[in-house]
């Protein structure tokens, strides 16, 4: 009976690790594909910077929703698997930081950039420098987000003996 319980526990752990890896790869892979492939291609091929920018905004919104969903499931899985001990793992804190960055993108930076772009399209040239500032902040935070995600994809919670 004890052997069956050990086997079941081991299978659950393997399934949990595989699910975590899959969700992380989905989230981080989509970040990389959108930011470093789809958006540059849009600007290179659409011919209209405004159209490409609007398209990029929609892509980033979609990847942020995906990230929030994956991140929420991953954080809940940490608590289900480890209970209160989850906060002792560095990966928990990286996931939490990624979620916070994604929330900042979704509910502050993207709406602010969209509002600034609206003002620029109405002829308010003073907003151009503000747009550039928010774009630089967004770009740098996105790089941090992808690096954090890559650190999770290539590592595990296991501690060396």
Residue 91 counted as domain residue: yes
| Both structure tokens of 1 | 């009976």
Helix (H), strand (E) at residue 78: helix 49-82
Residue 158 counted as domain residue: no
Chain position carrying tokens 């659409």: 46
In whole angstroms, give the CA distance from residue 37 to residue 59: 11
**Structural domains counted in the chain:** 1
List pLDDT tens digits, range 120-144: 888 777 898 999 999 999 999 999 9
In whole angstroms, give the CA distance from residue 16 to residue 73: 12
pLDDT of 1 reads: 59
The model's pTM is 0.84
Read off the pLDDT band of 161 (50, 70, 90): very low
Residue 2 counted as domain residue: no
Residue 6 counted as domain residue: no
- pLDDT beyond 70 at 40: yes
Residue 89 counted as domain residue: yes
What is the 8-class DSSP label of residue 61? Answer: H
Residue 148 counted as domain residue: yes
Residue 1 counted as domain residue: no
More confident residue, 92 or 5: 92
Residue 5 counted as domain residue: no
Least confident of 48-52, 58-62, 136-140: 48-52
- Cβ contact 95:75 at 8 Å: yes
The boundaries of the domain holding residue 82 are 11-153
């Amino acid at each position: 009976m004890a052997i069956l319980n050990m086997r079941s526990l081991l299978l659950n752990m393997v399934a949990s690790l595989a699910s975590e890896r899959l969700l992380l790869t989905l989230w981080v892979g989509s970040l990389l594909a959108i930011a470093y492939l789809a958006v540059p291609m849009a600007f290179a091929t659409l011919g209209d910077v405004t159209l490409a920018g609007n398209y990029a905004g929609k892509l980033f919104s979609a990847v942020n929703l995906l990230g929030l969903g994956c991140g929420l499931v991953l954080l809940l899985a940490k608590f289900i698997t480890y209970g209160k001990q989850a906060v002792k793992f560095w990966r928990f804190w990286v996931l939490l930081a990624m979620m916070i960055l994604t929330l900042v993108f979704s509910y502050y930076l993207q709406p602010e950039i969209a509002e600034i772009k609206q003002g620029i399209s109405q002829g308010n040239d003073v907003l151009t420098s503000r747009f550039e500032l928010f774009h630089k902040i967004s770009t740098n935070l996105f790089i941090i987000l992808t690096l954090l995600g890559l650190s999770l994809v290539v590592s595990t919670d296991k501690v060396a003996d």
